[in-house]
Amino acid sequence: MLLQIPNVFSKEEVRYIRQRLEQANWQDGQLTAGHIAINCKDNEQLSEEDPFAIELGDEIIKRLGNHPLFISAALPHKVFPPMFNRYQGGGTYGFHVDNAIRKPKTSSQRVRTDVSSTLFFSEPEEYEGGELVIQDTYGEQRVRLPAGDLVLYPSTSLHQVTPVTSGARYASFLWTQSMVRSDEKRRLLFDMDCAIQQLVQDVPNHPSIIKLSGNYHNLLRQWAEI
């Protein structure tokens, strides 16, 4: 499932964040690349211990933790602290699959990467290239979202960031360990949840709401790992 979540941050908030990011201490992204990814990764990242990265990452987790659409789609159990990258001057990240298990530098807790997310802090017109290309069952999906918007997709997906040929692409990326490991099951639960919420709006006293809601929670109870 690939899903856009709009307006995680407002345009005014993005302008402030961009100012801070442009003044940040960027490092070679290959410092955090594995032995395979190092051959296709060419970008810059903030250290996981960077004070602003920690501050902004905490705010991202707080907002997503209160966002009904993110909760419904990701069914989060654990979230790896958000990281930040910058692509410019031809920077790219070739096709790869995210590592299955991640361990933050600032914690001993490991996170299984079920859902990947990218939160954009550059407007599409501010740079050329830099598309997030995700391969799924429907073919290649090419993503360039407005600043402040987030896209989430299965971490099992083969994906890349195409070369940024002009301008700069700023973004945050994070991984979520879902209560439901299977993307197919998460999608079924998400579709059911959306249908229930629509039914509540359209026919608030319909007797099927209670039954459907019960089925949703019984499936979640059966599939959840916590």
Q: Is 62 exposed, middle or buried (0-12, 13-18, 19+ CB in 10 A)?
A: exposed
The reply, when asked if residue 98 is annotated as ligand binding, is yes
Question: Does 102 show up as a binding residue in the annotation?
Answer: no
Quick check: helix, strand or coil at residue 128? strand
DSSP string, 200-218: HHHSTT-THHHHHHHHHHH
Q: With residue 195 as reference, give the H or E element that holds it.
A: helix 183-202
Whole-number Å distance between alpha carbons of 112 and 224: 14
- Which helix H or strand E contains 51, and what residues bound it? helix 51-65
Distance CA 156, CA 183 (A): 9
- Rounded to whole angstroms, how far apart are CA atoms 172 and 32? 15
28 is known to lie in a ligand binding site: no
On the 0-12 / 13-18 / 19+ scale of CB atoms within 10 A, 87 is: buried
**At residue 23, what is the residue type?**
Q
Residue 159, annotated as binding a ligand: yes
In contact, 196 and 209? CB cutoff 8 Å: yes
Helices 11-22 and 51-65: crossing angle in degrees, nearest 10, is 160
Can you tell me which residue has the tokens 């955090």? 32
Residue list for the binding site for 2-oxoglutarate: 169
Residue list for the binding site: 96, 98, 159, 169
Residue list for the binding site for Fe cation: 96, 98, 159
